[in-house]
Amino acid sequence: MNCTNCGAEIKNGFIKSNNLYSHDIVELINNELGLQAKTYCDACGSELLKKAKISFENKKQEKINQMKKNRMLSEKEENERIKQIGKFKNELISDDYNLK
């Protein structure tokens, strides 16, 4: 049996082995790197897998940073609303006081 991507022999030896990657790993590599191979093995996939993991982690970190930014903006907006409500209450209290 050979890898359909690179043609390397798939073998499970004690000293030297070359295994096919699982479907999930193949999907990860293809999705992250924009490739379309049906299989990868240790021989052709190890560097691709490293690149795919880096790409995945970078995208994950970007999403985390965006979520943090959105949350901080939301907190800032909420704090601004609280200040506005406080000003409005103070104005109402002041108006009530002036009416008496």
Residue 48's pLDDT is 97
Query: Residue 29 sits in which domain range?
Result: 11-99
pLDDT of residue 95: 57
pLDDT at 89: 67
What is the pTM for the complete model shown? 0.68
Does some domain include residue 20?
yes
**Helix/strand/coil for 21:** coil
Residue 36 lies in a domain: yes
Cα–Cα distance measured from residue 22 to residue 56, given in angstroms and rounded to the nearest whole number: 17
C-beta atoms surrounding 68 within 10 Å: 10
CB 77 within 8 A of CB 64: no
Domain count, the chain: 1
What pLDDT sits at residue 93? 63
Residue 4 lies in a domain: no
In a domain, 71, yes or no: yes
Residue 28 lies in a domain: yes
Tens digit of pLDDT per residue, the chain (100 long)? 999 999 999 999 888 999 999 999 999 999 999 999 999 999 999 999 999 999 999 999 999 888 888 787 777 777 787 777 777 767 666 655 555 4
